[in-house]
């Protein structure tokens, strides 16, 4: 059985032509699968009986089911736990906006792996390790699931996608790049590249590989420390790709694409939230095409890390800004719905095992 959501338009045309159907049927099929979000072949009204019967016997369309959903008390974010055909669970977070002007948006944070093998000390996703990579179709299907959820609940469709959910996107780079192409396609959801951001904990060769593609997508680097000693402890990937090399790769990405790099910095009490760290962060990034997102960390009890206090967050942001580096203190959403990556999945799995 072939899974159609992982195929681009040319691949669909070639597949159908190989099996004796006109190539133009592939264009129609692509639109049904990627733009209209239809998964039942019988509902694809213009394909004809013969092709419909062939597809029912030989193909599938990836369509995860929602096994649990939570909406936070402010009604501005929702977390969905999705299950794929093989039982694998992944999470997505939908951030809801009123769209009072053109800059407002509906953003979905999607996963690229089931679990994660990076081992960051503060992260819920990595506590159970990596199960497997997701396919391009499974990645795309998360956006389509979010889009359908928004429509069902009276919101406008998804306009922005951030690859910041479970897993390390650049450890599954081929599938991520293909999913971006599918989401960007004019016969798909037509999500502009500038409305897509890919996050990484710091895989330097893959950052450089992305830079050579010269796409318009945003790059976000999960930094969380300003020196190798601390980052080695909380983010093991730093032992392979230390900070200076990571910053150099990010600068190369900016130079090749013209896009500003976002540095994600989650503050943990007594770990990386001092004024000394704030000044070191500003020094590290000053003069670059860079923006700092300061994040109020979600509490993950199993890790032992505590979120920094609100007043500490504010002082940290002020110190970075005063040094001439653009900084945003990102609003906290979803702390009441297990919004930290991996939390809902982990809690659900425990409930099922009881």
Q: Which residues are catalytic?
A: 91, 341
Phi, psi of 245, rounded to the nearest 5 degrees: -65, -35
Evaluate whether 116 touches 123 at the Cβ level (below 8 Å): yes
Separation CA 31–CA 22 (nearest Å): 16
Evaluate whether 145 touches 182 at the Cβ level (below 8 Å): no
Q: How far apart are the first and last CA of the chain?
A: 35
| DSSP secondary structure string for all residues of 181-194 | HHHH-TTTT---GG
Q: Please report where in the chains the tokens 């896009």 appear, as a residue.
A: 259
Q: Which residues contact 156 (CB under 8 A, 6 or more apart)?
A: 99, 106, 150
Which has the closest alpha carbon to 266: 220, 298, 241, 302? Answer: 298
Element (H, E) at 58: helix 49-58
Q: Please report where in the chains the tokens 């070639």 appear, as a residue.
A: 14
DSSP-based three-state secondary structure for 303: helix
Evaluate whether 294 touches 327 at the Cβ level (below 8 Å): yes
DSSP-based three-state secondary structure for 318: helix
Q: Which long-range contacts (CB under 8 A, 24 or more apart) does 177-182 make?
A: 177/210, 177/213, 178/6, 178/8, 178/136, 179/136, 179/137, 179/139, 179/140, 180/215, 180/217, 181/8, 182/5, 182/8, 182/34, 182/136, 182/140
> 180 is written with which tokens?
């971006």
DSSP-based three-state secondary structure for 125: helix
Phi, psi of 119, rounded to the nearest 5 degrees: 70, 25
């Amino acid at each position: 059985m072939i899974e159609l959501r992982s195929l681009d338009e040319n691949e669909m045309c070639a597949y159908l032509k190989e099996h004796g159907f006109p190539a133009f049927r592939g264009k129609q099929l692509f639109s049904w699968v990627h733009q209209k979000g239809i998964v039942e072949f019988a509902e694809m009204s213009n394909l004809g009986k013969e092709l419909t019967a062939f597809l029912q016997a030989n193909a599938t369309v990836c369509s995860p089911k929602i096994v649990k959903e939570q909406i936070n008390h402010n009604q501005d974010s929702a977390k969905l736990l999705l299950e794929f055909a093989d039982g694998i669970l992944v999470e997505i977070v939908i951030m809801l906006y009123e769209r009072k002007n053109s800059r407002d948006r509906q953003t979905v944070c999607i996963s690229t792996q089931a679990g994660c093998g990076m081992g960051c000390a503060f992260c819920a996703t990595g506590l159970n390790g990596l199960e497997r990579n997701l396919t391009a179709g499974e990645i795309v299907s998360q956006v389509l699931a979010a889009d359908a959820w928004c429509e069902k609940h009276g919101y406008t469709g998804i306009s922005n996608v951030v690859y910041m959910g479970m897993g390390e996107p650049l450890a599954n780079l081929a599938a991520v790049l293909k999913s971006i192409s599918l989401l960007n396609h004019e016969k798909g959801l037509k999500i502009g590249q500038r409305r897509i951001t890919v996050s990484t904990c710091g895989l330097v060769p893959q950052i450089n590989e992305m830079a050579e593609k010269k796409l318009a997508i945003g790059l976000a680097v999960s930094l969380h420390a300003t020196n190798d000693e601390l980052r080695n402890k909380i983010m093991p990937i730093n032992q392979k790709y230390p900070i200076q090399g990571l910053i150099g790769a990010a600068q190369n990405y900016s130079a090749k694409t013209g896009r500003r790099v976002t540095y994600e910095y989650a503050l943990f009490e007594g770990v990386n939230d001092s004024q000394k760290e704030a000044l070191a962060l500003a020094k590290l990034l000053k003069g670059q095409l860079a923006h700092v997102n300061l994040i109020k960390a979600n509490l993950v009890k199993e890790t032992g890390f505590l979120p920094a206090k609100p007043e500490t967050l504010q002082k940290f942001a002020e110190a970075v800004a005063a040094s001439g580096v653009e900084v945003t203190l990102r609003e906290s959403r979803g702390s009441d719905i297990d919004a930290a990556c991996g939390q809902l999945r982990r809690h659900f799995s425990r409930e099922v095992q009881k």
